[in-house]
Chains A and B, each alone.
Chain A
């Protein structure tokens, strides 16, 4: 009965969001798919070229390089951020004086924009490397690990907050029962807490993986791909294809579609996997 009377109000309740959704997402998305099969400089002059752009993508060694680098980057940051974030959260839920202050400090970098973070770390890393007479653009390895450090610094606090919330919501009696039964701290952690924390772990892994793939601002500000586009992640490669070279817009859009498919597959697969695990537990 409520549903019916509310339905009539679709123009007020759902239309504004839907219109914006069309303008800001749906139309550009469909156009994006279409344009990936065309040659264009502006949208109005698109000429159909079929899958030509896609074959162009895979013959671009720099794209492949950036893709591999992005996967590596995502795996490494996901592991570090979650392990460290969890450990810090675990310790800070214990009775340690000052733990509120520590939480605040660990979380702070999240609020600062990627471009700003990039320049902060450029200063610090260049300063450190100058002891060996080098700079961050000396080799792609420096740029890559610099970006890893930056990203961990930024995101550990965020994941820590989520883990803390998860830990605090754990049923205290279960843990007590385990300890009464003579389980050591390590055993309790592994056998009782970790399984119970799976939902939080799922959420955090999901967030870090997508964040890893989508990293752009930090990469742009820290090294901008230097040297020779070797520290370039996939998003920066796509951006450069669009705005750095002439007549490559079609290929750029094809790269963007491929990137989207990868992110979508990872997101869905991750979701399925963890859903299964949670049920199994």
Chain B
């Protein structure tokens, strides 16, 4: 019996190894093609670069130059980090307030936040782009506010779930000991919610880092492009698509994501699980 399952396990390992290879094959294909001259990418997609088709780092150079990719990286980082920090701070406070106050008003706004979760972006796309522009929020830091507003639903929802599971006695005794309300929140509640904070941070980072349409429609395109916009511009902004530059850009965009994943894998998996269980 024992021996049998072991052999079975071997087979499954082989099976999953093959499937895994297949799974990352699209990424490998892009990397391979990024070293070919552009004329060979669409004609000999599956062959390795040879003496004639090898392009060296030329595609990377052209991709960076055409899209101003490094600057876009900077804007995307500012946009994502700022938005996520603001969301974490504001929604965790708001969630705690909602749960502990729990009057009619608090319940009402909680329902509104729930409602926010089922509204697709297209519904508010046009008015939102108009409002961000009128208020001058068309900058990466202006969009922090927009992401806080549009992304509040899920974050508040997850945080309220976490607050509900906290024992109220700790807070009560802290306040009796003379701690002010903000002190209680920042010194006691927030540290206790650390896993939830991580989980929300991961979910929101994944969303905002990769978001395309919201920044595309709201950012001032004269000054700011996120990486998704830059890549899309490579396709749309020039009459002809430079497949070489495209491959270079794709690889450059994927690398940091993979590095981030390898470094934070544990948190990402936990984040998604808590997010899903609570959601």
Are A and B close enough to touch in the complex, i.e. CB under 8 Å? yes
Is B257's beta carbon under 8 Å from chain A?
A: yes
Contact call A31/B127, Cβ cutoff below 8 A: yes
Min CB distance B16 to A, Å, is 5
Contact call A264/B231, Cβ cutoff below 8 A: no
- Report chain A residues within 8 Å CB of B12: 91, 94, 96
One digit per residue, 1 when the CB lies within 8 angstroms of any chain B CB and 0 when it does not, for chain A 103-130 equals 1111111111111100111011011001
One digit per residue, 1 when the CB lies within 8 angstroms of any chain A CB and 0 when it does not, for chain B 1-29 equals 00001000100110011011001111101
Across the interface, B119 reaches (CB within 8 A) one of A14, A25, A43, A220, namely A25
Segment with Cβ contacts to A, from B38-46, B49-57, B66-74: B38-46
Contact call A110/B145, Cβ cutoff below 8 A: no
Q: CA A96 – CA B277 in complex, angstroms?
A: 26
Contact call A112/B210, Cβ cutoff below 8 A: yes
Q: Which of B165-221 contact A (CB under 8 A)?
A: 168, 171-172, 175, 181-182, 185, 206, 209-213
Q: Give the interface size class of chain A.
A: 35 or more
Across the interface, A17 reaches (CB within 8 A) one of B131, B146, B148, B268, namely B148
Q: Give the interface size class of chain B.
A: 35 or more
A-B contact count (CB 8 A): 278
Contact call B29/A123, Cβ cutoff below 8 A: yes
Q: CA A102 – CA B2 in complex, angstroms?
A: 23
Chain B: which residue is nearest A263 at the CB level?
A: B120
One digit per residue, 1 when the CB lies within 8 angstroms of any chain B CB and 0 when it does not, for chain A 14-33 equals 10111011111111110110
Is B269's beta carbon under 8 Å from chain A?
A: yes
- Report chain A residues within 8 Å CB of B175: 2, 5
Q: Is the interface of B mostly helix, strand, loop or mixed?
A: helix
Q: CA A119 – CA B33 in complex, angstroms?
A: 13
Segment with Cβ contacts to B, from A55-63, A73-81, A190-198, A234-242: A234-242
Q: List 6 A-B contacts (CB under 8 A).
A: A2-B172, A3-B103, A10-B97, A42-B130, A43-B127, A260-B122
Q: List 18 additional contacts besides A92-B16, A111-B260, A119-B235; criterion CB under 8 Å.
A: A16-B90, A24-B148, A28-B128, A31-B131, A32-B126, A32-B127, A96-B13, A98-B17, A102-B19, A104-B261, A104-B265, A113-B209, A120-B250, A123-B41, A123-B45, A216-B122, A217-B212, A239-B125
Give the interface of B toward A (CB within 8 A): 5, 9, 12-13, 16-17, 19-20, 23-27, 29-30, 33, 41-43, 45-46, 90-91, 93-94, 96-98, 100-103, 106, 109, 112-113, 116, 118-128, 130-131, 135, 137, 145-150, 152-153, 156, 168, 171-172, 175, 181-182, 185, 206, 209-213, 227-228, 231-232, 235, 243, 246-247, 250, 253-254, 257-258, 260-261, 265, 268-269, 272-273, 276-277, 279
